[in-house]
Amino acid sequence: MHGNARPASAVEPPVMSSSSVVARVEAATDSTAAITFLGSAGRDGRERVSWRELHDDARGVAAALQARGVGPGVRVALLGPTTRPLVTAIQAVWLAGGTLVCLPLPMRLGSIEEFARQTRRRIENAQASLVVVDPDLEPFLALEPGVGDDPPVMRLDELRGDASTWERPDDDPDRLAIVQFTSGSTDDPKGVILPHRCLVQNIDSIVEGASLGSDDVGVSWLPLYHDMGLIGLLMTPMLTGFELGLAPPQDFLAAPGDWMHWMSELRATVTGGPNFAYALAARALRRLEGLDLSAWRLALNGAEPIDPVSVEGFLESGARHGLDSKAAFCVYGMAEATLAISFPQPGTGMAVDVIDPIALEHERYAAPANGTGEARRLPWLGRTLRGLELRVCDPETGAPCGDREVGEFELRGTSVTPGYFARPELTAESFRDGWLRTGDLGYLVDGEVVVCGRIKDVIIVGGRNVFPEEIERAAASVDGVRAGNVIAFGTPGRRGKEGIVVVAETREDELSRLHDDVIDRVCDSVGIPPLEVVFVQAGSLPKTSSGKLQRSACKTQYHADGLTRVRA
């Protein structure tokens, strides 16, 4: 087995100096490390700010927030691009004793009106008492303070205060630190409750599981409204005291090669991103010159299904730049666990479980492939981090599953959320006998975690349980289909049986050839021809604010004839 340093059910809590985010931030300022803002201004416009200096500024902003009534129990919604003022305000909310609500930016929404509607929805669901917004985004909020339930609005550039008047809040580990919205439905966003103790526990487990230390240098372009960006790659160095280079997500999306330049120039050791980001990085690495990636030791890959082919392509493209083939770090996590659930052993690279897809689909059993037939490759995601327990249960009966038996992952432990903000019914539905039901399907082998997919996304065709990820990867391998921009789902077909619909983005005009190639590739992969293949315009597939594909939203659009189809 891989990553066998800890048993799967280890629950001994880490040794901590404090279970308060504020106390941990203060302790981290003793280091000489800093955060470097890698903005759109270019290399000459970079700004390096020590954690001590950022903390001093944040105390002044916290004083200004306290003067506006922010304190324990008060939720503050922040909306703005990744800048020094936003990061300062994030820390300041905790220093004031308040609860942080980071709001998504309009990354791929079809209209400003839709962005404003979804933003208002989150503000309402979080019951925010104050909204702090970047001046450039203020006109789009359409909030009317004093009218109805709209909270007051402050601009980021108005947050100025005297640090000497700041009143430090008590260290209360149960105080609510973050309401983290999940990357699911944008119409009914779920706010995960994360008290201080959950954040500190999970960050300590991340530091231990990834062997992070003062010599590490992180780089992140991930959105700060997403748990991986906020907690994993901002709060972890902020609370630990190591170097971080931070860039806006739009800079990466505009030029994925910049990510590789940042890693080279800062001699960075740690970074992270979803699978699609490594596919884009691989393309950039094949054309870039003059990089030195020899310091890079951990490339965290999570937040969406991991494709071993994409990871291998990334490692192959990076090899000539000095990238260690063992740098791949495939992980499992979710907002309801604060962030991280399982890590492999650092320095071991990516390992895959090669299994029989027929047994997986028909028997929900991950039988090792015998080498003579088709096989499915799933990455090992290591063992549960300290403080967490993971078990596999039958989704319907709750009966425990044995090794290699596929079921629903259930969690409990020190960093598992107490529930969803102001959603008691949803909270009750999400727990079974004190265990959080994740909605993820997977299995364990001697304590090692392997994820197969989401329960709600499984397509049942002719008694087979087909995972949409396999269909999507097959379709995306066709030349002319945009990688990472394919959605597959089930829909009633002939004689009431469920069939497969594939929706793919393309910029091609010859759709007949593309159509046949997708059908052939899907048949080769899962043995079932799609009921329909639909080609849509680039950038039109529904995605969450963090860039995850939305299968349910796409299915709804398909049935409502709302897809932006490409016509031959």
Of 563, 477, 554, 562, which is closest to residue 514 (Cα–Cα)? Answer: 477
Helices (H) then strands (E): counts for the chain: 17, 28
By CB neighbour count within 10 A (0-12 exposed, 13-18 middle, 19+ buried), where does 43 fall? Answer: exposed
Q: Where does 332-455 sit in CATH, by number?
A: 2.30.38.10
Sign of CA dihedral 194, 200, 203, 204: negative
- Alpha-carbon gap, residue 422 to 278, rounded angstroms: 37
- What is the rounded (10 degree) CA torsion for 465, 467, 470, 472? 130
pLDDT tens string, the chain, 568 residues long: the values are: 333 333 333 333 333 457 899 999 999 999 999 999 997 544 556 899 999 999 999 999 999 999 999 999 999 999 999 999 999 999 999 999 999 999 998 765 556 787 888 888 999 999 999 999 999 998 888 776 666 678 999 999 999 999 999 999 999 999 999 999 986 555 578 999 999 999 999 999 999 999 999 999 999 999 999 999 999 999 999 999 999 999 999 999 999 999 999 999 999 999 999 999 999 999 999 999 999 999 999 999 998 889 999 999 999 999 999 999 999 999 999 999 999 999 999 999 999 999 999 899 889 999 999 887 789 999 999 999 999 999 999 999 999 999 999 999 999 999 999 999 999 999 999 999 999 999 999 999 999 999 999 999 888 887 778 888 889 989 999 999 987 899 999 888 666 667 899 999 998 888 888 999 999 999 988 888 999 999 999 888 988 766 778 888 899 899 899 898 987 6
- Alpha-carbon gap, residue 422 to 228, rounded angstroms: 23
Please count the other Cβ atoms lying within 10 Å of the Cβ belonging to residue 316.
14
Asked if the 458-559 domain carries CATH number 3.40.50.300, the reply is no
By CB neighbour count within 10 A (0-12 exposed, 13-18 middle, 19+ buried), where does 326 fall? Answer: middle
Please count the other Cβ atoms lying within 10 Å of the Cβ belonging to residue 531.
17
Q: Tell how far CA 196 is from the center of its chain.
A: 20
- Alpha-carbon gap, residue 303 to 272, rounded angstroms: 10
Quote the pTM value: 0.88
- Alpha-carbon gap, residue 306 to 181, rounded angstroms: 22
Q: Where are the domains of the chain?
A: 21-212+223-240, 332-455, 458-559
In sequence order, which ranges of 14-146 are alpha helices (DSSP H)? Answer: 21-28, 51-67, 84-95, 112-125, 138-141
- Alpha-carbon gap, residue 323 to 316, rounded angstroms: 9
**Secondary-structure class of domain 21-212+223-240 per CATH:** alpha beta
- Alpha-carbon gap, residue 386 to 342, rounded angstroms: 9
3-class SS of residue 287: helix
Check for a shared fold between 21-212+223-240 and 458-559. Answer: no
Strand partners for 487: 503
> Do 481 and 471 touch, CB atoms closer than 8 A?
no
- What residues contact 139, with CB distance under 8 A and at least 6 apart? none
Of 90, 102, 100, which is closest to residue 194 (Cα–Cα)? Answer: 100
